[in-house]
Amino acid sequence: MAKRHYIPVTADVPGAANERTCALIRKVIRTALAAEGMELPCEVDVLLTDDQGIHQINRDMRQVDRPTDVLSFPEFDLAPGELPTEEDADPGTGLIPLGDMVISMEHAAAQAKEYGHSGRRELAYLVTHSILHLLGYDHLDEGPMKAQMRAREEAILGELGITR
C-alpha cells in the first residue's frame, strides 16, 4: 500500500480545528500537491490560530510586527515546478517534510467578509496559497511571479470546484 501524505492540523484557539475544517484543509493540500505533480508522500504541518497568535509568530520568525492571514515556512528552497525527491524524505518516516503553514482563522473570516465570499472559499485559498509557497512559488514582484502563482491558485481552486 502506498504511503499517503501526513497532514496534522492543530489549533491554539478553541474550536478552530473542527472535523469539517480539518477535512477541507487536508483535501485542499492533497489536491494542490497532486496538481503540482508531488506524488511522493509528504508531511505538511498546519497550525490554526487567531490574529494575536499569528502576530507573535510573524514577529518572532520574520521580524514583522503585525498579524497576517497565512504564513508559510518551507523546508526546501525550491523554484516553481521543482519538487523534492525521494532523497529528501525523512529516513525515520519516509515522508518528505515540505514545511509548516500557520493560518489566522480570525483574519480568514474577516477577509471572507471583506471580499464577499464564503469562509470555506477563503480558507481553501489560503491553504492553496501556502502550499504553493512551500513548493517554491512566490509573489515578490507584481509581474510574472505573481501572475504565475495566481494562475496556479485559481487552477487548483477550480479543480476543487471552489470559485469566487
Distance CA 125, CA 117 (A): 11
Instruction: Return the CATH fold of 9-159.
Output: Collagenase (Catalytic Domain) (3.40.390)
Task: Output the pTM of the full model.
Answer: 0.94
Distances (CA, A) of 29 to 61, 62, 70, 95: 23, 24, 14, 15
- From first to last of its 164 residues, the chain has per-residue pLDDT tens of 356 899 999 999 988 889 999 999 999 999 999 999 999 999 999 999 999 999 999 999 999 999 999 999 999 999 988 999 999 999 999 999 999 999 999 999 999 999 999 999 999 999 999 999 999 998 776 678 888 889 999 999 999 999 77
